[in-house]
Structure formats: structure tokens, C-alpha cells
Homo-oligomer: A and B are copies of this chain.
Amino acid sequence: MARVIVDVLPKAEILDPQGQAVARAMGRLGVSGVADVRQGKHFELEVDDSVDDAELERIAGSLLANPVIEEWVVRRVP
């Protein structure tokens, strides 16, 4: 079994209202020094060792993320 993390973020050119709302809330709460926030999704998968990197890319790009609006990073963790 391997642990795989897939992080998905809205593409830079897509408005990220959630991230912006968080950034605004920081200002209201008196947190200063945070210039920008982007919010996406974080997936942790338990996968069989038989699943190779190409298959993981396919799962990420065809199901976990929507390539029209999102970008993603896949990494295996120990």
C-alpha cells in the first residue's frame, strides 16, 4: 500500500472567491502579513503498489480535478 496525495487548486486565471473570502476575514480579525490566499482541495489516497504514476495522473486529471478550471499535483508520500 502506498499513500498518495493529490492537491487541486483553481487555475490562476479563475476567480477564487473562497480564497478571497478567507483573505478578507484575516484582515477583519486583525491578522496582517498575509498577502494572498488560494483555496483548493486536498485528497489522501491509499493505493495498491500496483497503481503506477501514469494511472495516478489519469485518476487525478480525469476525476479528482477538472482540467477546464483546475490544476493539480500528485505526490507519493512515505
Contacts and interface: CB of A to CB of B under 8 A. Distances in A.
A68 interface: no
| Number of identical monomers bound together in the oligomeric complex | 2
B29 A37 contact: no
Q: Which of A33, A37, A38 has the most CB of B within 10 A?
A: A33
A40 to B, nearest CB: 4
Contacts of A8: 42
B38 A43 contact: yes
A14 to B, nearest CB: 14
A20 interface: no
Interface of A: 1, 7-9, 19, 22, 25-26, 29, 31-48, 50-51, 55, 58-59, 62-64
